[in-house]
Structures are given as C-alpha cells and as structure tokens.
A and B are shown apart, each in its own frame.
Chain A
Amino acid sequence: MSKKNHVTPPAFAERLLRIIYYDKGEFTHLGDFEEMFCHICENKSKAYARYWYCFQVLKSLPGFIKNKVYWSTAMLKNYLVIAVRNVVKNKVFPIINVTGLAVGMACFLLIMAYVQHETSYDRFHERSDRIFRLLSKESVQKGQKSVEEYDDHFPELMTPVFVSDFPEVKRASCFMDAFQDKAVLKAEKKLFYQSGLYADRNFLEIFTFPLIHGNSQSVLSEPNTIVITEQVSKKLFGNENPIGQIISYKERRRQYEVVVSGVVENTPHNSSIKFDYLLSLATLKADKANSFMFDNWNVANFQIFVMLTETGNKTEAEEKLTEFAQTRRNGTILVLQPIEDIHLRSQIRGELATNNEVRYVRLFSFIAVMVLLIACVNSMNLGVACSSKRAKEVGVRKVIGANRRQVRRQFLGESLFLSVLSLSVALLLMKLLLPRFSLILGVELELDLLNNAFIIGVMIGTALFVALASGSYPALMLSALSPVSSMKEHSISGNRSGRLRNILLVFQFTLSVILIICTVVVFRQMNFIKSKKLGFDREYVVVIPVKEKETLDKRQAIKTSFLQLPQVQGVSISSGLPINIRSRLINHEFVRGNGEKVRMDIKFDYVDEDFVDVFKINILQGRNFSRQFSEDKYGVLINETALKKIGWSDPVGKELSFTRDPYHVVGVVEDFQFATLHHQIEPMVLINSMGSNIAVRIHQGDVPAILGSLRRTFEKITRSQPFEFYFLDDAFDKLYQKEKRTGEIFGTFAGVTVLIACMGLFGLAVYMIDRRTKEIGIRKVLGASVSQLVTMLNKEFAGLILLSNLIAWPVAYIIMRLWLQDFAHRIHMSIWTFVFSGMGVLLISFVTVIFHAFKASSSNPVHTLRYE
C-alpha cells in the first residue's frame, strides 16, 4: 500500500465511531476498522469500502443508544423514591429550602422584569440603532469644576439643511413639545386636556409609531391637520372613524381648528417620546404670529432627531455637523445621542419624559443578585446540613457499586428538582406581587412570559444556577468520600462543612444587616425631609394651573370670586410655587452699599401681593407689597440669603435693575426652601406681578365640598379650560418620589433578605439541635436547667450574628454616606441606628432559634436519650 493512494474512511463515520468506542482514549478499535477499511479498499473497491465502513458504524448505533439510555435511567426510579422519602422524612428542610429559594427567585425575577423594562426604552423603533438626537455641548464653569452641559433645542431652519447637505443623514425630523403644556382638545362639546407635540412631516417616517388610519408620508404635511392616538380618538369620538372630524385646539398662546388626518397607536409605555396627539408643524408655520420661530437662526425651540444612512458613521457625522454649526455660531459642538441612550444615560434639563439613571438600575440589579445569592447560599447551607445525614446512604450506594459520577448526578438531580419546584412557586409569587411592585416603582410592568425570550432565559438560567450552586457542595463532597469513612458517623460533620456553614451564615446576615441599616437611614432621611421646617406652609393649598389664553385673561376675576367663598382663606397668582422656583437671572449685577459691585446668579419668581400670606412666609424687614402704594408696582421682596450675599445693611428702598423699569426692594422675607432639599437655599427675589398658577388656601373642613364650590365658581367664569387642580403637598411629595421609591425598595428587600436568612437559620438550628439531642439529654440528667440549655444553644448563633454586624456596619456606613451626599440637608447617622438594626436582627434570630431550642430542652431526657 503506497502512501500516495492512501484512502481514509469517511470523516463523519469515524467521528461517530470515536464516540461509540471510547476505548480509554487510545482508539485502537478505530485502528482496527481503518486497517480493515484499507484491506477492503485494495481487494474490492473504494466505494464498497466506504459503504462497509459506514454500515459497520451505523449498525452499532442503536445498541449504543439503547445502552446509554438504559444505564442512565436504571437508577432513576430509585433516585426518585429516595428523594421523595427524604422530603417526607425531613419535611421542615425541603419546605424551608423551597420557600426561601422561591421568595429569592421571585424577587430576582421581579427586579429583572423591571431592569428589562428600563433597558427596553426606545428599542421598538425599527431602525433604533440609526436614530439619534441632536445635542449641543457646552462646557460651563461650575465652582471649581468645568461641567459639560447639553442642550437639545435647535432652530427649525437647521432641519432641511441636514438632509440636503449631509450624505450621512438619511432623514431628519424636528418637533416641539408645546412647552410641555397641556392643550385642550374639543370636539362635539367634549373637551379634554392632552399633551402632545408639534411634529413635522418626517416624524412618523423616522419613528415607528404605527398608524391605524392614514398614510405615514402625508398625514402631517398639510397645515391644520392633527394625528391623534387611539385613546384620544376613543375619548372624543367613541367608536366612530375620526378621520376628517374637526377638533378645536387650544393652548395658552394658540388656538386652531384642525382636521384629524390620522390615528396612531398609543405610544408604548417604554417610549421616551410620549404624546396624545401630533399637530402638524405646518399649522404653526401657516400662522403669521409664529413666523419668528421659522425664519430665525437664534430661536431654538425644536428638538431634532436624525436617522443616519446604513453606511453613515456617527463620529464622522458629528464632526461634519459641528463644522457646519461653527459657521453659524462659534464654539458650538454638536453631538449625536443614540435614541436608546435617552432614557438611562441622559440628563438634560427638561427631558421629554421622566428619565431614570443607569445607577439606579444598576443598584437594583445589584440588590437582585444579592437576594438571589442569599437564597442560593441558604439553599446550599440547608443542602449541606441535610446531606451530611445522608453520608451513610452514599456509603451503601458506593459499596453496592455506584461510581462517583452517579452519586454526583443523583445529588445534582435532586437539587435541580428542588430548584425547578421553587421556580414554579416563584412564578406564582411573581404573578401575585407584580401589581404591587409596579405600584412602588411607578412603571407598568407586564408579565408576558411567552413572548419574552429574555425572561425565559433568565428563569432557566436561574434554576440551573441555583441547582448547581446549592447542589454542588453535597454532590462534590459526598461523592468524594470513601465508603468506609462515610459509614462512620460524624465523619462529615467535621470542621470543614461546619466552617463553610458558618461563613455562609455570616455572609447572609451581613447582607441583611446592611440592607436593614440602609432602610432605616433612608426612612429617617425621608422623615427628616417631611418634618423639616420649609419656611412656608404647604398644607391646605389647592393649585389650579392655567393653561389656556382665555382663562389667563380672566384670572383676576377668578381670584376675586374665589375670595368671596367663605371656605377660602386667600388666593395668590404666581408664576412659580414655593416648592419649585426655577427661573434664574444669570450673572446679575448688584451694587453694594459702599458702591462695590457684585455679580451673582439669582432665582426669581413673579408673585402677587397675596403670595406671602397664602403660603405663610414670614417677613423679616420692611413690608409686603400692597395695592395701596402705587410705587409697589415695581416692588420686590428678597430673601435672607440674597440679603446676606449682596451685603446690604439697610435693604429697604434699595434699587434693582432687572429691566429698564426701576425696581426697588420693599421687604425681606425669611428663607424658605424653594427647591428640593438636595439643594442649599439660593438667593431669590420675588417680583410683584402675576403668573399662571392660582393657589388657593382653604380652611380645614369638608375638602370635597370646598373643591365642589371652587369648581362651580371657576366654571361660572370660564368654560374654555377644564377645572383641574392639585394639592401643594402632593406635588411636594412627588419631588421626593425617587427617594421614597428607593426607601420602599430597600425596605421590601431588607424584609425579604431577613426572612430568607431567618428561614435558613431556623433550618440550621433545627439541624444542629437535632444532632445534639443526646447531649441535651445528658446535660439535663446531670442537672442543667432549661434556661441554661437554651442559652447554650443560642450562644453559637449569637456569636456569628454579632460578627456579621461588625462587618456590616462599616459597609452600610460607607454606602449611606454616599447616598446622603446628594442632599444638602441631611441627617447625621447616629451609632444608635446601627446598634438598633443589629440588635433587631439579633433579636429576630433569637426568636427563630429559641422556639426549637426550648422545645428540645424541655423534652424529657428519657426520650432524648433513647433518640435514634
């Protein structure tokens, strides 16, 4: 046989043969077959040899498979019987194990559902990876640091230039968010407040908001057309086809009669761009009053989104756009922000929708992993405790002939069975808890398992992970034992498994204590905020925001007639409310008493003369505005901080120049907290004028009745805007929603971890005490009292829990210090918070252990000694 025409057998058959005849990895059988193959090759034909070879291999396949299946299931029945017997015999352990795991998994899955929801934002657009929002970047000096600030408003004139001059840009669309005001949509006497956008004709071509009626290329191109969502269509027109219907559209400054040209599906809950209607931008263009927006490069009112071409490179496009922008205004840097980043990675003032932060999502994911880890550790702990009782079983199995792999498979299989059982319980729990969880987080979470490959993947992954994590220790440890040593009692309960158990226990309780301390600190900070003296009274104030021009004209009349109601204490009309004064004069110049000039930023608000009374703000110097003094038309009040910063010794009568009109200081008000407590109080000035918020202070009493009479009075004067209101303290609470949410999440998970950890502790206690039944009996016979025994049994755990406390305190301290740094006004973390949290956990664990310890100690020594 020469080397040249050496023929090899078919590769796939050879590979198959390799699997079937493993032969200690030496594959001499393969050699036999190949030799035979060559032999046939020489004597007969190549084709026949191939045929022969394949046939030989395939012939052995059925037998091979049959053997494999038979031998791998031969013991299955026995394993199942043993597993069931173990569950029935121990009862407590499997129940604790499954409950703990299920609760942990349910928490994990809940948070994963949330994380998935948060990361799914804006990914539903068909070409979401090519859609970008245009931002301009600016470096701003803030104190010592230079901070990059982004702005997302641009002139409309830019949009057509992008498409015509830049090959990378496939489409561009601009829209305006109507200054986030709600507009009144009215059709056939039905009127509703809705919020929407002025969008140009390309809007629906870039974004994937499917149209139910109408054509996406033309619906927004004509003036005086509107596209409404399904929901609005239902509200205004019922089940009729709304196309061609007339809607009268009103907002504070504008008023149009528009024709419905399309109906779009409701915006998905995971969209950053949310709207109830889209008014065609052509409507605004056609209106002469708005021409300033469309022929001016300096009026930046519009958000611009671009869609790049398939080949368009983001960085190149950014460079080119910046180059272009520099020709218009020096120093402008344009950045393209991927639409998928808007929800989690963007902090621009006045975002379209409430944003989240990546770090919150990360924090939650971290907690989720921790909870799952605790549950796994718990299960592992119980698994170890339980399985040490089964060392004898393993010994017997090995003597009969089980090999290591079989024992390993048995234990892993059992823990897989438990974890799958837990998973089903977890799913049930998740289903029950999801509505409540959605409520806490303020997002609509849905449990759509079948269409959600991610969640299914996570669930199966979790089950496998838990099975592996909790089954691996017993599987590896027990399978490694030699039959002789496993038959001798106590051999497994030696130091190694005991130490591991203790480490796991300490780990669990450390995490629990950390979470409890965090919860306590968060709640104390929240209480502190609630009870903090704000400098104004936020209770019993009803705020009616004016959103429409006609009503705005009549606000004085509304105020007068409100004042005639007996239940009304006072009415004030202002632009901002004491909880959120945001308007700011930048770098304004003040002249000090000695002629020195200072420049600083100052907040301002337009208020009328009743503002101070309605919100019960104290006046320190001078007086309030009054209608009796005509010069008060240009009067202002400044706050204490402003006074200190400017440094006037005698502020009343000092002149200020905001516009050409000569303003002068009438009085000084006590500092009040007009931003959230994350911020220090800044200098502020109240200017005598009016705004669009009507604030009504009402007497305590029958609130619904008072609201009813307010409504009637309001509707008597104006019908062009629905009567909508909110309470000032509700709005105040909303400012701290994120913190409140964090607190509640921490609270929930702290509770869950403590629950899981205690279940684990209980299981361990039962196990440990059972082991020491005889010892307890002997001690009792020798004269130990019940209380002595209980103390003895508790001591072991108490030490471990104290250790966990020692580890947890500094960690919790560091975490919470970071969190509190966000607040300008914050509590001091006292040592007592830590001590009490630690003691609380200790107490709970005592209660857990003591129950069983007491039962064991008070039993009759005769029985305990006869045990086993």
Chain B
Amino acid sequence: MRLLSRSEELVLLAVWKLQEDAYCIPIRQELIEVTGKKWSFGSIYDPLDRLERKGLLKSYLTEPVKERGGRSKRIYRLTSLGKKSLMEIRSIQDALWDRIPSLETDRKKT
C-alpha cells in the first residue's frame, strides 16, 4: 500500500484522537497545539478530502448547528483501512528508529 504523507498522517491521528468530535475545527486546534505551527483551513481540508477518497476515512453529517449559521458539521471517522495504515506506519517508523543509533550522541559531535 502507498505511504501516507506527513500531513495526512497527522490529520489521521488527530481524527482518531478526537473520535466523535472529529471535524475540521477541533482537528485544526489539535494540530496547532501539538505542532505549534499555523495550520490554515485549506491545509486540513485537503488531507481530509484525500484520505476520504483513498478510503481511509469516512464522513457523515450531523444535525444543523445554530452557531454554524444553521449548517451541519462533517464528522470524520477512521475506517478499518485507516486504522490498518496508521498501524503500518507506526511499525515502519519503529523499525526505522530501532535501526539507527540514538540521535542525542550525534548532536554532541557536531
């Protein structure tokens, strides 16, 4: 299977973390908090759309909400494929980290 991009991976993780509240704004909030960087709306929508098309996410609409101007939220959930690919990435990364010496020592040298 194809590897995910970093932003896709992060978004996917955020969706998994937020569970029932996984729509654009909390996802963005979460990512901003964790990474400490600016995330625009577009940089969330794009990975979400892509992941949905790849079948790693699925979405449904909630009841209309008043403070959203009477519009629904689009809530995302991980599919089994999504969970599988997250786990796969995790294992690949773990394997990679295991094969290299600790970075701390490296930094001291330079």
Q: Which residues of A contact B (CB under 8 A)?
A: 1, 3, 6, 8, 21, 26-36, 38-39, 56, 59-60
Contact = CB atoms under 8 A, between A and B. Distances in A.
Given A26-B61, A56-B41, A32 B72 contact: no
A375 B69 CA distance: 54
Contact of B67 (A6, A28, A59): A6
Given A28-B72, A29-B41, A35 B67 contact: yes
A36 B68 CA distance: 9
Quick one: which of A1, A29, A60 has the most chain B CB within 10 A? A29
B67 A29 contact: no
B45 interface: yes
Interface string B76-104: 00000000000000000000000000000
Nearest to A1: B67
17 contacts: A1-B67, A3-B66, A6-B67, A26-B72, A28-B72, A29-B24, A29-B41, A29-B45, A30-B68, A31-B68, A31-B72, A32-B24, A32-B25, A32-B73, A33-B41, A34-B68, A59-B40
A30 B69 contact: yes
A36 B25 CA distance: 7
B42 interface: yes
A8 to B, nearest CB: 7
B41 A31 contact: no
A30 B67 CA distance: 11
A21 B48 CA distance: 14
B41 A32 contact: yes
B64 to A, nearest CB: 8
Nearest to B24: A32
Contact of A31 (B42, B45, B65): B65
A34 B25 contact: no
Q: Is the interface of A mostly helix, strand, loop or mixed?
A: helix
Contact of A34 (B45, B61, B67): B67
B58 interface: no
A145 B74 CA distance: 79
Contact of B69 (A1, A31, A56, A60): A31
B54 interface: no
Given A32-B41, A35-B68, 13 more contacts: A6-B67, A8-B69, A28-B24, A28-B71, A28-B74, A30-B69, A30-B71, A31-B65, A31-B68, A31-B72, A31-B73, A56-B40, A56-B41
B41 A34 contact: no
Quick one: which of B40, B41, B69 has the most chain A CB within 10 A? B69
Contacts of B71: 26-28, 30-31, 34
Contacts of B41: 29, 32-33, 36, 56
Contacts of A31: 65, 68-69, 71-73
Interface residues of B, number: 17
Contacts of B40: 56, 59
A32 B23 contact: yes
Nearest to A29: B45
A6 to B, nearest CB: 7
The 7 A-B residue pairs with the shortest CB-CB distance in the complex, in nearest-first order? A31-B71, A31-B68, A28-B74, A32-B24, A34-B69, A35-B68, A38-B67
A10 to B, nearest CB: 13
Contacts of A21: 45
Contacts of A60: 42
Contacts of B25: 32, 35-36, 39
Nearest to A38: B67
Nearest to B42: A60
Interface string B19-63: 000011100000000000000111001000000000000000100
Nearest to B27: A32
Contacts of B67: 1, 6, 34-35, 38
A8 B73 CA distance: 18
Contacts of B74: 26, 28
Contacts of B72: 26, 28, 31
Contacts of A39: 25
A33 B67 CA distance: 10
A753 B73 CA distance: 62
Nearest to B74: A28
Contacts of B66: 3, 6
B82 to A, nearest CB: 20
A352 B16 CA distance: 91
A39 B29 CA distance: 12
Contacts of A1: 67
Nearest to B71: A31
A28 B69 contact: no
A19 B74 CA distance: 19
Contacts of B73: 28, 31-32
Contacts of A27: 71
A555 B22 CA distance: 112
A64 to B, nearest CB: 10
Contacts of A8: 69
Quick one: which of A26, A28, A33, A59 has the most chain B CB within 10 A? A28
Nearest to B62: A28
B52 to A, nearest CB: 12
Quick one: which of B24, B42, B68 has the most chain A CB within 10 A? B68
Contacts of A35: 25, 65, 67-68
Contacts of B69: 8, 30-31, 34
A204 B38 CA distance: 77
Quick one: which of A29, A31, A34, A39 has the most chain B CB within 10 A? A31
B61 to A, nearest CB: 7
A33 B41 CA distance: 8
Contacts of B61: 26, 28
A56 B28 CA distance: 15
B58 to A, nearest CB: 14
Contacts of B42: 60
B73 to A, nearest CB: 6
Nearest to A41: B67
A60 B43 CA distance: 11
Nearest to A36: B25
Nearest to B45: A29
A31 B75 CA distance: 12
Nearest to B23: A32
Quick one: which of A32, A35, A60 has the most chain B CB within 10 A? A32
Contacts of B65: 31, 35
A61 to B, nearest CB: 12
B2 to A, nearest CB: 19
A623 B64 CA distance: 109
Contacts of A3: 66
A3 B69 CA distance: 11
A9 to B, nearest CB: 8
A28 B72 CA distance: 6
Contacts of A6: 66-67
Nearest to A23: B74
A666 B65 CA distance: 110
A218 to B, nearest CB: 72
A773 to B, nearest CB: 48
A35 B68 CA distance: 5
A28 B60 CA distance: 11
Nearest to A35: B68
B21 to A, nearest CB: 12
Nearest to A3: B66
Contacts of B68: 30-32, 34-35
Quick one: which of A8, A34, A60 has the most chain B CB within 10 A? A34
